[in-house]
Amino acid sequence: MSFDPLAGLPDDTARRDALARARLSALSEPGDGVLGALVAALGAEDALEAALSDADDAAAVAGAAADLEATAVVEGRRRWAPRRGETARVLDDAARTGVVLVTPQHPHWPVRIDDLGPHAPLCLWVRGETSAVRADVAVAIVGARAATGYGEHVAGELAASLAPDGVAVVSGAAYGIDGAAHRAALGAGGVTVAFLAGGVDRAYPAGHQDLLRRIVTTGGAVVGEVPCGSAPTKWRFLARNRLIAAASDATVVVEAGWRSGSLNTASHAASIGRPLGAVPGAITSATSAGCHRLLRTHDAVCITGADDVREMLGIGGEPVGVSVAGDGLLVRVLDALSIRSPRGVDDVARRSGLSPQEVQSTLGLLRLEGAVSASDDGWTALPRR
């Protein structure tokens, strides 16, 4: 085999670390906090050795990692032992299918994702352009699989508007909102990144095989944290959602039912302090109920278009100025004028409840704006242009 999944790493030390991380990723389920703590304390190679050890040294191992109890190590070893046999050939499928391993020492490791702490992924398996995973600005656009035409339209509009600005569009490759976001980013010539719950060597959902291939061949990336060949289980979907949130500067939920998985993504975004947006819809639409739930209980920002997302990302122009109050004097004097009969200042004063002095100065202002005209008979309002 000529393809080397570790080729992007800078040196042999980084490669040894990466191989250990790959093996650890086969040993554990995503987000295993005990393993994350061991890797942080011991480094990946020693953590792998400690994880697989049969020695009676749980207390010593735990002692090396702050905040870890010996019982957690004992429990962890019981979890990891059943998969001991799956670590050996962990790179083979990746090499065969052209999948690259990205680790914290890889130049394209998405540093944002480290905000997950001990629940950060040990490594990322990437098909396509690894630099896409580390875009300067990235937004997650996610939502219901059973989306409506409205939801898919909005997801597409947002992605198509943001992608040309160099914003990477991150999503989960599902049917519905996810697919619409990826497709629109591709259509706009932008970069898009799909995080899968299973191994990146298999297309999931199968109906998105072509979409995933297009992402990979046009500067984007398809990413997972479990080794090639791993099935996309329900648990891994929940775990995958934390990656979408952590790999993005902000998360926008476009449509979501009351118990949609995208609410889980939204929770992750909020829990690591990332801005969270939700697109409203009709309250009679079940597919917007989850978005309204985020607006009500999670303090999500109400997103009405791409400019609102730019504001949330801190890019683009000034927010539109907002002034709800009108200018009372102008309104009251205009109320008191006719467009047919000229009226004198005293008449206008009585009708408007203003003093003749106020009326006089306001009429002057309105005349400058071309809203009124004066004649010998008095003042007349001009029709609105």
Q: Which residues bind a copy of itself (CB under 8 A)?
A: 28-29, 32, 75-76, 78-83, 150, 153-154, 233-236, 238, 263-264, 266-267, 279-284, 288-289, 292-293, 295-297, 301-305, 308, 322, 324-326, 328, 331-332, 334-336, 346, 349-350, 352-358
CB of 133 to a copy of itself, least distance (A): 24
Residue type, 72: A
The two structure tokens encoding residue 13: 């030390």
* Angle, vertex CA 175, rays to CA 154 and CA 266, nearest 5: 65
CB of 202 to a copy of itself, least distance (A): 17
DSSP class of 86: G
Type of residue numbered 184: A
- Nearer to a copy of itself by Cβ, of 47 and 215: the residue is 47
Residue type, position 153, single letter:
H
Q: How far is the CB of 324 from a copy of itself (least distance, A)?
A: 5
How far is the C-alpha of 212 from the C-alpha of 216, rounded, in Å? Answer: 6
Q: Which is nearer to a copy of itself, 94 or 278 (CB)?
A: 278
| Sequence-separated (6 or more) residues with CB below 8 Å from residue 198 | 204, 224, 226, 230, 231, 232, 233, 236
Q: How far is the CB of 165 from a copy of itself (least distance, A)?
A: 20
Whichever of 15 and 242 has its CB closer to a copy of itself, that residue is 242
Closer of 3 and 235 to a copy of itself (Cβ): 235
Closer of 76 and 176 to a copy of itself (Cβ) = 76
Specify the residue, 135 or 294, whose C-beta has the smaller distance to a copy of itself. Answer: 294
For 103-154, the DSSP string reads -TTSTT--GGGGGGGGGS-S-EEEEE-GGGGG-SEEEEEE--SS--HHHHHH
Q: Minimum CB separation from a copy of itself for residue 262, in Å? A: 10
For the CB of residue 15, give the shortest distance to a copy of itself in the complex, in Å. Answer: 26
The burial of 357, by beta-carbon neighbours within 10 Å (0-12 exposed, 13-18 middle, 19 or more buried), is given as exposed
- Shortest CB 150 distance to a copy of itself, Å: 6
Distance of alpha carbon 195 from alpha carbon 265, whole angstroms: 12
Q: Which residue, 107 or 353, has its beta carbon nearer to a copy of itself?
A: 353
